[in-house]
Structure 1
């Protein structure tokens, strides 16, 4: 039994079996993870940042994503856990002196070694190409290989000397298990931060209200603790004492001006406490009282007399 032209079909051409699972090229996957931004799919360029799950991004792409969170962006799923710029850490990377980049093969007549990385571990010297596990510290952003952590065990960063905890170590581009553990740590860390904010708010409100209470309670205690000599007079007595002084001052000022206010008591200048020179101005002074003999006779002259 054949087809037209005398061809005989085989079994695999007639019967369709199960589809073969497409295998992802590991080399291509490593190149995409370590050389391209997980958000914009562009080549990584400084400044490079990493999230709490260990993914690499361009800082410009993260800022654009935070400013424009549109639902149309399909690539936004890779950064859905980034809520603010504080959720990413800027990395301090060490350049690989053996990496030439695009300068060595401008004509395209040479083979590009994709396994050669742009950055290396500053402690051990391993290249950051995905063949070796790398990590960074959230506290300072320094990047080095996991082998450096195991061989040189310390609680201080190997490059900058900053102290760190085990929770601050984040694996870059780790496996699914690593991502799950990092996700749990991230959720726990954010819950702790929310609880700390809630506890700080009532404490701040109490600290604002306490100074007012202390000021009110400090008044009576200071009065009681003071000596009887240092204690001031009663405010009512102060008012009573200030009233006559004010009246006397107004009387003196009115006496000098010669115009006593309406309703004020009349008193002679002779009884006042002013100086004798001031009293001699007025007719009530003893110097102004002259006898008739001392007084001159005033004669009026007219023009008709001359």
Structure 2
């Protein structure tokens, strides 16, 4: 069949060999990681956040995912470890002055550098394009290159000056081994947080309940104390009026009220602010009669 007209078929046209394994373009892979959100696959734009595993996301996409986790979204496996806003950190990035972004007019009349990153290291100046290792600090969210942290060894952030430790450093898009270490670190931190919460709850349960002040000040119906003496609100100094009665008929002894004017430690200027002071009282001559104004009065 076929091969007429003097055509000579070749071997690859007649024999089908094994399919070649498709290789992923490294440039495309780097651009997908460092220029696009790991959840929505949209271009990264401020505000940009990162998780404890070192992945980059748009903050809007993470908030939409947390508000409605039932919606169908691509790449939801990349955010299953994010339970709330406490599991992410907003990054403090440094813009690249050479990055033109959307302002660039792509006409194809000039060379386009695909390795040009949107952000750079504020210390060394390396571009954040995937060719260099970058990391961020969990304390302040500042992003630096790994070379800057190795060359300038310090315990204070180079950008904002906040102190940090080696355990606060999170590598962005590290190797598989580094990713496993970050996952173990995250699980250990969450396990410690659970143990602290359980201890606090147990301590709260072991505490005795607070006493009701009404029960402690309750007096029997006959109004007599253990020594046989009568006690009422009117008998106590500094109180006036009859004692209050509870629902069961028992009397309730209230604390005695002390007048502000009787406090010797207070000054006269302070006492004059209240209506109980002598300066606030008026005589009969100073008080005026009650006048009712009607439309006919005017």
Q: TM-score range by the shorter chain?
A: 0.5 to 0.7
Query: What pairs with 1:240-279 in structure 2 (closer than 5 Å)?
Result: none
In structure 2, what is the Cα distance between the partners aligned to 1:57 and 1:104?
24
**Shift in Å, 1:47:** 0.4
CA deviation digits over 1:12-57, x for unaligned, max 9? 2222222211111111111111111111111111000001111100
For the aligned residue pairs, the C-alpha RMSD in angstroms reads 2.5
Q: In 2, distance between residues paired with 1:211 and 1:164?
A: 42
Measure, in 1, the Cα distance between the counterparts of 2:17 and 2:108: 42
Q: Please list, as runs of the form range in 1=range in 2, the aligned pairs for 1:131-210 lying within 5 A after superposition.
A: 131-206=131-206, 208-209=207-208
- Cα contact 1:105–1:112 (8 A) shared by 2: no
Instruction: Give the alignment of 1:1-306 within 5 angstroms.
Output: 3-70=3-70, 72-105=72-105, 107=107, 109-206=109-206, 208-209=207-208, 235-239=226-230
Q: Matches of 2:72 and 2:102 in 1, distance apart?
A: 34
Cα distance change, pair 110–69 in 1 and its aligned pair in 2 (3 A)? same
* Cα gap change, 1:187 to 1:109, in 2 (>3 Å): same
Per-residue deviation, 1:108: 5.2
Runs of 4+ in 1 over 6 A off after TM superposition: none
Distance 1:200 1:5 in 2: 90
Find the residue that maps to 1:49 and give its secondary structure. strand
Structure 1 equivalent of residue 271 of structure 2: none
| Separation (CA, whole Å) in 2 of partners of 1:60 and 1:235 | 70
- The number of equivalent residue pairs is 222
Q: Which runs of 5+ in 1 are unaligned?
A: 216-233, 246-306
Contact residue 99 and residue 116 of structure 1 kept, 8 A: yes
Q: 1:2 to 1:235 in 2, by over 3 A?
A: closer
Change (3 A) 1:71 1:5: farther
Distance 1:185 1:165 in 2: 14
Q: Is the 8 A contact 1:2 1:9 kept in 2?
A: no
Find the counterpart in structure 2 of residue 263 from structure 1.
none
Are 2:40 and 2:73, in contact at CA under 8 Å, matched by a contact in 1?
no
Specify every segment of 5 or more residues in structure 2 that has no aligned partner in the other structure, as ranges.
Answer: 214-224, 236-298
TM-score, normalised to structure 2, is 0.68
Larger radius of gyration: 1
TM-score by length of 1: 0.66
SS in 2 for 1:72: coil
